[in-house]
């Protein structure tokens, strides 16, 4: 199963793709969608959307997962992040790829075994788990951690029921 992990951001959105085969996780690709600083906010949203549409078309994941966002101390940044996350979610839905959401804590827990892990620990463990020769950039590592988190939840769900877990699709109730 190919999984796309997304680390939403309004200036840079990370993406990471892994292939989960049984208990094995293989690295496929990762990167960062960056926006053009001088562009209007609307044009930057368009860049983020086009960027992830391209990633979806090139790598054709079967499942996707995105980090949940909460209100940070800076309410205005959180609101901008909401806009960016909206267009990222839209692209996944338009590609008809099932989308799951995980909290930052769940993602850190899955990647490092510790829910309060810092960015560097996540970056380090993603590199170890996926046997990468060098650490990916922070945004890309966060996105790969989201994909790893989803792979773990998926495996756990499979183990529990012995069958394929229900995959949320368009029209399902969350």
Query: Judged by CB, which is closer to its own copies: 12, or 99?
Result: 99
| Cα Rg, the chain, nearest whole Å | 15
Residue 101 falls in the annotated catalytic set: no
Query: Judged by CB, which is closer to its own copies: 57, or 79?
Result: 79
For residues 37 to 66, the per-residue mask of contacts with its own copies, x marking binding by CB under 8 A and - elsewhere, is -xxxxxx-xx--x-----------------
- Residue 107 region, left (φ>0) first, then alpha (ψ -120 to 50), else beta? alpha
For residue 87, CA distances in Å to 27, 48, 58 come to 25, 7, 18
Query: Judged by CB, which is closer to its own copies: 14, or 136?
Result: 14
> Whole-angstrom Cα distance, residue 96 to residue 59?
14
Question: Rule CB under 8 A: which of 72-101 touch its own copies?
Answer: 75-76, 78-87, 89-90, 92-94, 99
Residues annotated as catalytic are 7, 67, 139
């Amino acid at each position: 199963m190919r999984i796309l992990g997304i680390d939403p951001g309004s200036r840079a959105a990370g993406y990471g793709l892994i292939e989960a085969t049984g208990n094995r996780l293989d690295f496929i690709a990762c990167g960062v969608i960056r926006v053009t600083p001088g562009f209007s906010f609307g044009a930057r949203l368009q860049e983020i959307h086009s960027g992830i549409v391209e990633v979806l078309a090139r790598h054709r994941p079967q499942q996707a997962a995105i980090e949940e966002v909460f209100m940070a101390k800076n309410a205005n940044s959180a609101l901008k992040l909401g806009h960016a996350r909206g267009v990222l979610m839209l692209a996944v839905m338009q590609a008809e790829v099932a989308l799951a959401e995980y909290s930052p804590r769940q993602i850190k827990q899955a990647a490092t075994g510790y829910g309060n892990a810092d960015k560097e620990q996540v970056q380090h463990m993603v590199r170890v788990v996926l046997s990468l020769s060098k650490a990916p950039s922070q945004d890309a590592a966060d996105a790969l951690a989201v994909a790893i988190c989803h792979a773990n939840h998926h495996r756990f769900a499979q183990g529990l029921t012995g069958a394929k877990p229900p995959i949320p699709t368009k029209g399902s109730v969350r």
